[in-house]
């Protein structure tokens, strides 16, 4: 492959194009005077979304897939953060947490400390001698990054920082020597030296070009692809530079969750990105906070990492380990048809996380993921289960009569099977967990109406029946995502839960819709919210 940039490389002015932004946005939520976190008794056992690293779970699922199929499954998913050290390298750390005002005039540069993450391997930008070929890769095929190395066509990019390493590639920040000013940085994804992963890189570029063509103004919330090249036998992709991903952003706020107004704006942007993917007939298949990036001013989020994306028109064979485990929809586990609803489910899980700071569904296997889903939403019905692949369903359910085969590990480390009958009422409740996250908020607490609208949206995103799951078009028109309607802020209320726009969730949603309702296209985005609770 010739070391030249793809003809898809747009000009610098397009790289800086961004959608409308909020007038005021603060990320952190203000807590009670005691400084207590927002964790509630009902949510104490839920893992922290900010501290979760999906890499180990993905490696376990990849091993399970390989054991079942006899070959590596590249569709398991990727993460740009496989260690806390790599996460710290993503952005300079502030000396102390403070209210993050995304629209302040100053950059607070005096509060940024050099944490030693950027290390100069060479004194100045240098082209490293190709005769050192044996030294370019580590034993796993990752490129050994050297800061201040010049890469790309015409030695255009100067590597200045390591951002992270995932299952398929490592990612670096580089200065574009052809530009000046704040727009001079880019992110470069350096794919491992592996034929299978290189082919996946080619496929990803094909999707990215399709998306670029559908979004020429860079306003539909997919991270912008700037081109590709080859460097020392490694396939490289160049993207616009973003600040960090949503999981790392959660680390910067107390309690891990954002203000509801911020969640609302980010949700609208995510659904806009999903609409673009759907328009281009692309299923992302690995959405999670790690694969949603935030801009340097925190105003804008964009979906990223299409390394495991699928053309929805391609072969629809059951793949029970598609999507990272905590964001995997039930139809994937049960061998049903893959639809755009797979991505909507993952976004629903993500929205819950960025509000509560907690993981919604957890489990150390597909079996325990199903159990977690039913604990929160109710038992699946026989009619629903019969839509799945019989062999996959039989791994988890018995009927008649309907029972769930919970595969658990006892205190001696031995796996045992525990049949569970359907319960009358789910032991956990999404609505309660959403409201609990607001209990300690003193200033500008969301109203019960706002919280119920959010619950209604989550339940629509997380409908087990993929045929009735909300679509991106419908989500953009949902009351929670509307920008123009006035918002009021009430004083803290009692813990009594009121009924939202959608009422209680009904798990027996198995009858397919005969027709979609007419959707009015949303107008231009006008984000006006604060991330502070």
Selecting among 241, 286, 290, 343, the annotated active-site residue is: 286
Are 253 and 35 spatial neighbours (Cβ–Cβ below 8 Å)? no
Q: Is 195 a catalytic residue?
A: no
Q: How many CB atoms lie within 10 A of CB 33?
A: 8
Closest Cα partner for 331 from 385, 368, 403? 385
The helix/strand/coil state of 222 is strand
Distance CA 55, CA 41 (A): 28
Tell me whether residue 189 is annotated as binding: yes
CA 395, 398, 404, 405 dihedral sign is negative
Are 35 and 442 spatial neighbours (Cβ–Cβ below 8 Å)? no
Distance CA 190, CA 450 (A): 43
Are 439 and 40 spatial neighbours (Cβ–Cβ below 8 Å)? yes
Residue recorded with tokens 């944490």: 115
Closest Cα partner for 266 from 303, 211, 223? 303
Q: Give whole-number Cα distances, 115 to 323, 340, 368, in Å.
A: 33, 41, 40
Helix (H) / strand (E) element for 189: namely strand 185-191
Q: Give whole-number Cα distances, 293 to 33, 69, 265, in Å.
A: 32, 33, 14
Nearest 5°: the CA angle 218, 213, 223 is 40
Q: Which residues are catalytic?
A: 286
- Binding site residues for ATP, as ranges? 189
Which residue positions form the known binding site?
Answer: 189
């Amino acid at each position: 492959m010739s070391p030249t940039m793809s003809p898809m490389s747009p000009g610098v002015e397009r790289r800086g194009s961004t959608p409308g932004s909020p007038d005021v946005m603060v990320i952190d939520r203000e807590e009670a005077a005691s400084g207590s976190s927002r964790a509630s008794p009902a949510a104490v056992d839920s893992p922290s979304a900010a501290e979760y690293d999906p890499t180990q779970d993905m490696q376990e699922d990849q091993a399970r897939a390989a054991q079942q199929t006899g070959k590596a499954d590249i569709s398991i998913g990727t993460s740009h953060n496989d260690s806390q050290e790599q996460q710290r390298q993503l952005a300079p750390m502030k000396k102390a947490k403070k209210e993050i005002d995304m629209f302040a005039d100053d950059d607070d540069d005096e509060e940024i400390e050099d944490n030693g993450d950027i290390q100069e391997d060479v004194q100045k930008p240098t082209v490293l001698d190709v005769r050192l070929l044996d030294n370019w890769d580590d034993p796993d095929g990752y490129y050994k990054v050297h800061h201040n190395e010049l890469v790309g066509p015409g030695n255009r990019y100067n590597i200045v920082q390591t951002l992270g390493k995932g299952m398929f590639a490592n990612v670096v920040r580089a200065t574009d020597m052809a530009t000046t000013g704040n727009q001079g940085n880019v992110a470069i994804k350096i794919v491992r030296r592996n034929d299978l992963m290189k082919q996946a890189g080619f496929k990803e570029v094909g999707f990215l070009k399709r998306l670029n063509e559908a979004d020429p103004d860079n306003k539909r919330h997919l991270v912008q692809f700037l081109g590709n090249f080859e460097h020392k036998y490694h396939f490289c992709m160049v993207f616009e530079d973003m600040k960090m991903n949503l999981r790392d952003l959660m680390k910067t706020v107390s309690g891990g969750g954002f203000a509801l107004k911020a969640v609302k704006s980010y949700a609208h942007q995510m659904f806009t990105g999903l609409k673009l993917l759907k328009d281009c007939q692309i299923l992302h298949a690995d959405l999670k906070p790690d694969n949603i990036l935030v801009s340097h001013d925190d105003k804008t989020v964009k979906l990223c990492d299409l390394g495991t994306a699928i053309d929805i028109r391609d072969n629809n064979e059951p793949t029970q380990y598609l999507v990272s485990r905590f964001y995997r929809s039930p139809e994937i586990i049960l061998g049903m048809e893959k639809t755009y609803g797979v991505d909507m489910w993952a976004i629903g899980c993500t929205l819950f996380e960025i509000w509560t700071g907690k993981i919604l569904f957890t489990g150390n296997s597909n079996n325990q993921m199903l159990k977690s889903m039913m604990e929160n939403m109710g038992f699946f019905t026989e009619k629903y289960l019969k839509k799945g692949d019989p062999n996959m369903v039989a791994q988890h359910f018995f009927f008649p009569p309907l029972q769930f085969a919970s595969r658990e590990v006892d205190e001696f480390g031995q796996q045992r099977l525990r049949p569970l009958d359907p319960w009358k009422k789910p032991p956990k409740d999404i609505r309660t967990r959403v409201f609990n996250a607001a209990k300690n908020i003193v200033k500008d607490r969301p109203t019960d109406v706002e919280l119920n609208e959010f619950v209604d949206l989550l339940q629509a995103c997380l409908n087990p029946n993929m045929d009735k799951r909300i679509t991106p078009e419908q989500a953009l028109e949902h009351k929670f995502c509307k920008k123009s309607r006035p918002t009021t802020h009430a004083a803290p209320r009692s813990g009594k839960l009121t009924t939202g726009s959608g009422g209680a969730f009904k798990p027996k949603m198995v009858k397919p819709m005969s027709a979609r309702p007419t959707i009015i296209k949303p107008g231009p985005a006008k984000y006006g919210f604060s991330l502070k609770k």
